[in-house]
Amino acid sequence: MNHGFVRVAAAVPEIKVADCSFNAESIVEMVRRAEAEKVQVLCFPELSVTGYTCADLFFQQQLLTDAEKALEKIKFSTLGNTVAFIVGMPLLVCNQLFNTAVVIQGGHVLGVVPKTHLPNNNEFYEKRWFASGRTVPQEIITVAGEKVPFGTNQLFSDGKFSFGIELCEDLWVPIPPATQHALHGAEIIFNLSATNELAGKHAYLRQLIEQQSARCNAGYVYASAGYGESSTDVVYAGNGLIAENGKMIAASERFSFRPQLVVTDIDVERLRAERIRNSNFINDRSEEVYRTIKLEDACYEKFDLKRTFGKHPFVPDLLNRDANCAEIFAIQVGGLAKRWQHTHAQTLVLGISGGLDSTLALLVCVKTADKLGYDRKQILGITMPGFGTTDRTYNNALNLMKSLGITSLEISIKDACEQHFKDIGHDSSVHDVTYENTQARERTQILMDMANKKNGLVIGTGDLSELALGWATYNGDHMSMYAVNTGVPKTLVRYLVDWASHQLDRESELILQDVLETPVSPELLPADEKGEISQKTEDLVGPYELHDFFLYYFVRFGFTPQKIYFLAQKAFEADYEKEVLLKWLKVFLRRFFNQQFKRSCMPDGPKVGSINLSPRGDWRMPSDAIGFDLNE
């Protein structure tokens, strides 16, 4: 495998009903195409050797004989190929006819899986021709001159990944066979199908496949009959669909008049990471004895992934932007509302810097007050200009508080910090970590004391990305009484503020848009000669879009640094050189491990997405753990 990826394909060949010789040639041609694409496992549609729509011709001995000859032809024509592939054909076993999936690799039949659930409705009458896989009379049969396992309780594995098989209707029943396949270890499910088209059915089919792959924490490869099947009463569109853990990652063109090979890569390591975290995953595993059939290792050490990876895994897609953003705000508001009511606080107190994080926190506070029917004046925003505060952020802070109608207060921290420097004997011209952290802690002290004075609750503004990097002053901006942004990474903060700006009046929108264009900075060092921000966070710790990418794959799936680096190269190949990615990934790993002590005592805050770093819930890590090395 290549970093845990397995290359799979769904084939939709051209077929002719009952012309097994022609169909065999079509199958062999697509196997050769798959081999050239470095596919490891290839799936064909249901009854692809004969055609699905043969109807009562399945009772004809000539068709069954032709099918066996076609299988022999397919087998010997692919003798030198390493790709494992699955074809569908009718098979006579002990005077019963079965609708089967035949697994072939390197010119040998490895196993045969019969269909379990047979449709018997207005469109399909399979029970007229076939027996269910539940009635398998024997476990070893002779196929194409080889004795092979026969039954539904089979998995196929090369030692690095394993797969199971079900056929068409098996997917549509309450408990599909794939469920037990997955519980017994199958990471990828292949479905040989022949689903006809009806208005609205395709959308339902996609949902069904996505949901089954999600429930099983599995990859799901679906190959359905297409052009060439009989159109006497129904039409087949040729659906080649591939899903991974609830998401469709590749699909064929429907109603195409040409053969199609849908190829993509399934991340088996990601699937295993999901299963490891799901302690209930194997609880419902049946006591049925499964057997695993060995595949030859068809792994290609080097191949270019067919998959693409988004740069911003935390950011929702634009198609559902309103619904996604509204939901995230609702979670933040719900958490804060409960805490506000529980504490009986008269006010919410938070520092407003004119930066992204405090802006989002303020918006959450305003929405919470509105939701509870409280006066916005019960929100006390305090701007605390210091040695690095610029006119731009200062004015944005003041204007935003005014436009949102909250209570505002300005308290300069300069004199207090100068006095503190004298008290501890620090030279204020030395702009070191003491110089910076003194300002952060002074601001937190003001907020805490004002909360005491106003019977208030200090609302933290720091985000998930800052927690991951430890980019916060311990017992300074690191601390609050409730932190509404701790589940929101920086890339998502920006997305939310931009969305919120379009929900407000024109004045507020302009302020928020300027906040979005302002460089991210703690503003703890003096401004430059032009009065602009000199201390830019991303120049010091690296681009937040990279750190959020690293964080997602490190925490969500537990990927190795090597794999994260590999994925980052794929996602950001047009934006960053490899050396730059490597540099910032090393920074991420070093800071993530070194700064755990700050996360070990972080305040309460709502979880928003799939990742949170609260020591009470999602992330429990010793503060003195040894960091991981990144060896290319």
Q: What's the chain's average pLDDT?
A: 94
pLDDT of residue 242: 98
Q: Of the candidates 364, 568, 602, which has an alpha carbon nearest to the alpha carbon of residue 479?
A: 602
Task: Give per-residue pLDDT as tens, 345-357.
Answer: 999 999 999 999 9
User: Region 4-9: what's the mean pLDDT?
Assistant: 96
pLDDT at 183 over 90: yes
- pLDDT of 184 > 90? The answer is yes
Phi, psi of 78 (to 5 degrees): -115, 25
Give per-residue burial for 12-23: e unless 16+ CB within 10 Å, then b: bbbbebbbbebb
115: pLDDT confidence band, cut at 50, 70 and 90? very high
What value, to the nearest 5°, has the Cα angle with vertex 584 and ends 581 and 588? 130
DSSP string, 542-610: --HHHHHHHHHHHHHH---HHHHHHHHHHHSTTTS-HHHHHHHHHHHHHHHHHTHHHHTTPPP----SS
Strand partners, 98: 91, 131
- Please tell me the predicted confidence (pLDDT) of residue 302: 66
**Among 112, 281, 277, 84, which Cα is nearest to 184's?**
281
Q: What is the pLDDT of residue 527?
A: 83
Average pLDDT in the 390-416 region?
96
Per-residue model confidence (pLDDT) at position 123: 62
The pTM (predicted TM-score) of the whole model is 0.92
Sign for the pseudo-dihedral over CA of 438, 439, 443, 449: positive
542, 377 contact by CB (below 8 A):
no
Q: Is residue 281's pLDDT more than 90? A: no
Is 334 strand, coil or helix?
A: helix
Distance CA 209, CA 190 (A): 11
pLDDT digits (tens, 9 = 90+) for 536-582: 888 899 999 999 999 999 999 999 999 999 999 999 999 999 999 99
134 vs 302, residue with greater confidence: 134
- HSE-up of residue 588 (Cα within 13 Å, Cβ side): 27
Over the stretch 417-436, which tens digit does the pLDDT of each residue have?
999 999 999 999 999 999 99
Chain segment 594-603, per-residue pLDDT in tens: 999 999 999 9
* DSSP structure class, residue 315: S
* Across 506-525, average pLDDT: 90
**pLDDT of amino acid 299:** 64
Percent of the chain with pLDDT over 70: 98
- List, by residue number, the catalytic residues: 46, 115, 168
Confidence of residue 531 (pLDDT cuts 50, 70, 90): confident
Ordered structural domains, the chain, with CATH: 5-294 (3.60.110.10), 318-599 (3.40.50.620)
Categorize the per-residue pLDDT at 500 as very low, low, confident or very high, splitting at 50, 70 and 90. very high
